[in-house]
Amino acid sequence: MASTLSKTNITTGETIRPWHVTQSVDAFTGTEAYDITISGSLTVTGPTNLSGSVGISQSLTVGGTLTTGELEITNLTVNGTANINEANIDSGIISASFTGSLLGTASTASFVTSSRVFGPNGSNSILTSSFASTASFVQNAQTASYVLNAVSASFASTASYTPNALITASVSSNTITFTKGNGSTFPITVDTGSGGLPGGSDTEIQYNNNNVFSGDPTFVYDYLLSSLKQGDTVGSTGFYSHAEGYGSNANGFYSHAEGYNSTTTETGSHAEGNGTQANGLYSHAEGFSTIVDGQGSHAEGASTQVIGEYSHAEGISTLVYGNNSHAEGYFTTVNGNTAHAEGSDTIADGNSSHAEGLFTQTVGDYSHAEGSGSITIGIASHAGGNNTIASGSYQTVVGQYNAQNNTTDRFIVGTGTSVTRRDGFAVTHSGSIRVLTQSAAPTWTGREGEMVPVNDSGTYRIYVYIGGAWRSSSLS
């Protein structure tokens, strides 16, 4: 026979004995059998296993969601009403024989087979279907008492309809509208935390306009291309490109066009300024009306253009055709590879040549022209001064207006004029010295050591300015 908890000798002022405490511990740990009567409500958190007969004189309410193994009752007697709220009733969740009525609301309910439910008289002995385990065969059930289109009613001799059960739901924007069994609806608005609906049109960048989202048609993100357009009448058709300013177009992949009417057409290119074009791969055009067609090239200034690869044009109206070349200044042109033209109206035609100054030109490879109007024709030649011409290879010419078409001398000093070209002094290919021959004896005041060869109508003399006077000797 089970014992009962006792308050004997437990009074104010008396000594607390060990059994006063241990009887409660023994009762609730099952060490000894005790009959316990609870008046009021009992809340149990966690799995509950009740062995033996359980009698409920009034109502039993189980709240929350029950999962597998959370409520096991060997024998349940309910004289009132037992409410099981939100129970996912599946195999092993509730194993009980009971009397009274058992009501519950389940988010899902299913076809109950004889192997799953045991009533007071064994399997197939449940007389009502107000309790089900899963939703496999019961559609749209918000409570377990609403059974629709049941495949088998072998365990459901009666079924009640709940008019307030939620049947369907639809979503529009951030509002969910529910429909009940009686046809009525009610909405629920979900706060998405976005702060409001987007402003402007599709793809327009959002900004805070006095605490309201607004869009700007001149600031657009193309999410299909991952490109950005910022400005008036701009376009960015290349993937991951960026166009800004007015009339700019970034058509190359990963390219950037900015300023006024700038355009990029190739991958990784950059155009900025006014009317610039970057048409070469990874090229850069900046300034005014500059154009880059060559890969990896750079044009800057005004009306400059680079056609060659990895080349550079700067200044005004400079032009580079060659690869790895450089033109700078005013109207300079480079046609050769790895060549350089600078100054004004200079031209570097030869490979690895250099033209500088005014109207100079290098025709031969590896040659150098400087000064004004100088030209190098021979390979590795050098012309400097005023309108000199280096006609031979490995030749150096200085002075002015030297004789043309001299390809043999190695060093020439020109002493001519724009009317008469001539050589005043030269070192020949053999190493000898060549000087200009006069047609008459010198009449000018010479400089100490100055020598003048004279051919006076077949009379050959050599004049040397020594000791303040011209002295001569005849030559046979």
Q: Could you tell me the residue ranges of all domains in the chain?
A: 1-37, 48-161, 226-416
Would you say 352 and 366 are in contact if contact means Cβ atoms under 8 Å apart? yes
Average pLDDT of the segment spanning 439-455: 93
pLDDT value at residue 314: 98
Please write the tens of the pLDDT for every residue from 259-286. 999 999 999 999 999 999 999 999 999 9
Residue 5 has pLDDT above 50, yes or no: yes
Residue 50 has pLDDT above 70, yes or no: no
Would you say 401 and 421 are in contact if contact means Cβ atoms under 8 Å apart? yes
CATH of domain 226-416: 2.150.10.10
Q: How confident is the model at residue 340 (pLDDT cuts 50, 70, 90)?
A: very high
pLDDT value at residue 15: 74
HSE value, Cβ hemisphere, 13 Å, CA-based, for 26:
16
Would you say 323 and 310 are in contact if contact means Cβ atoms under 8 Å apart? yes
Higher pLDDT, 53 or 340: 340
Angle among Cα 6, 7, 13 to the nearest 5 degrees reads 155
Higher pLDDT, 225 or 51: 225
Q: How confident is the model at residue 296 (pLDDT cuts 50, 70, 90)?
A: very high
pLDDT value at residue 52: 58
How far apart, in whole angstroms, are the C-alpha atoms of residue 171 and residue 166? 15
Least confident of 11-15, 30-34, 150-154: 150-154
Average pLDDT of the segment spanning 107-125: 45
Question: For the whole model, what pTM was predicted?
Answer: 0.57
Residue 37 has pLDDT above 80, yes or no: no
How far apart, in whole angstroms, are the C-alpha atoms of residue 281 and residue 306? 12
Residue 125 has pLDDT above 60, yes or no: no
For residue 387, give the nearest of 379, 396, 399 by alpha carbon: 399
Q: How many CB atoms lie within 10 A of CB 462?
A: 13
Higher pLDDT, 92 or 247: 247
Which tokens belong to 52? 């033996």
Residue 117 has pLDDT above 60, yes or no: no
Would you say 279 and 294 are in contact if contact means Cβ atoms under 8 Å apart? no
Please write the tens of the pLDDT for every residue from 371-417. 999 999 999 999 999 999 999 999 999 999 999 999 999 999 999 99
Average pLDDT of the segment spanning 201-230: 91
Would you say 360 and 367 are in contact if contact means Cβ atoms under 8 Å apart? no
How far apart, in whole angstroms, are the C-alpha atoms of residue 29 and residue 131? 32
